Amino acid sequence: MKHLFLALLAGVCLGFSTKARTADPQQVTYSTTSDGLALKGYLYLPKGHGPFPAVLWNHGSERLLGTKQPDLAGFYTSHGFVFFLPNRRGHGLSPGPYIMDKIRQDSFLGFLGGNRKIVELQEQANLDVAAGVSWLSSQSFVDPKRIVMSGCSFGGIQTLLAAEKPLGVRAYVAFAPGAESWGNGALRERLLKAVLNAQAPVFILQAANDYNLGPVETLGPEAEKKGGLAKKYPAFGTTHPDGHWRFATLPGGIAMWGPDVLAFIHRCLK
């Protein structure tokens, strides 16, 4: 509890704004897909006139919860970044099939190539992420040469898959990419390939009490060889969910990793 209190206190020192934390984001449509789906997302703008650097955040597997991320938005906008949360199809505001429903509907997943099917579903979802980057970079208030991508869990997977594409993104920050799915060998292989082919530096980070530390321990060294970073932080809270998504998105966790991520981003944007 003492460590959590100190982390929350540090969050104040990092410049969290209560107003930014509670402000309602703009709802935007960022893509109309070939199959007619109007994909939507949330947009937070910092104070000033821009053009601003921007952070695109890839949400996790949650269908509704966590698709606004006001704490992350408050952190990044207080440091002068646009914060954009594209909702992939089937999540939050966006119509379409929900990826977890697809996974559950295939009762043979885990057998007969099911692990590879999960990778295929992640690859399909990444098309929505690429569309989000395209929309963000075209906005007049965004500097297209200073875009960063981040995400946690499924969003961490999406961040790494995007990293090997020529999207013009300058840095990638992946929290716990595939930590809950690390037993899927096909996914592990695919994420390693993505790190090896990354077009910009990658920072992989996890708390010590995440579900599985394979991502930071296996992918991290390869990211470092390409000019990126890897770091395992002390435990956050007491449970696996605390060390997984709460570490990545709540003020106490942000206070732990915030200085490192900002330093990494600024280095990559120079």
Mean pLDDT of the region 124-132? 95
**Cα end-to-end distance, the chain, whole Å:** 38
Q: Is 26 helix (H, G, I), strand (E, B) or coil?
A: strand
Window from 108-122, 127-141, 255-269 with minimum mean pLDDT: 108-122
The answer to whether 255 and 7 have CB atoms below 8 angstroms apart is yes
User: pLDDT for 180-210, tens place per residue?
Assistant: 999 999 999 999 999 999 999 999 999 999 9
pLDDT at residue number 28: 96
**Res. 14: pLDDT tops 90:** no
Can you say whether residue 8 is alpha, beta or left, with left for phi > 0 and alpha for psi between -120 and 50 degrees?
alpha
Backbone angles phi, psi at 178, to 5 degrees: 80, 15
Comparing C-alpha atoms, which of 202, 216, 247 is closest to residue 72? 247
Q: Which two tokens stand for residue 136?
A: 């963000």
Which domains does the chain carry?
Answer: 2-261 (3.40.50.1820)
The answer to whether 229 and 204 have CB atoms below 8 angstroms apart is yes
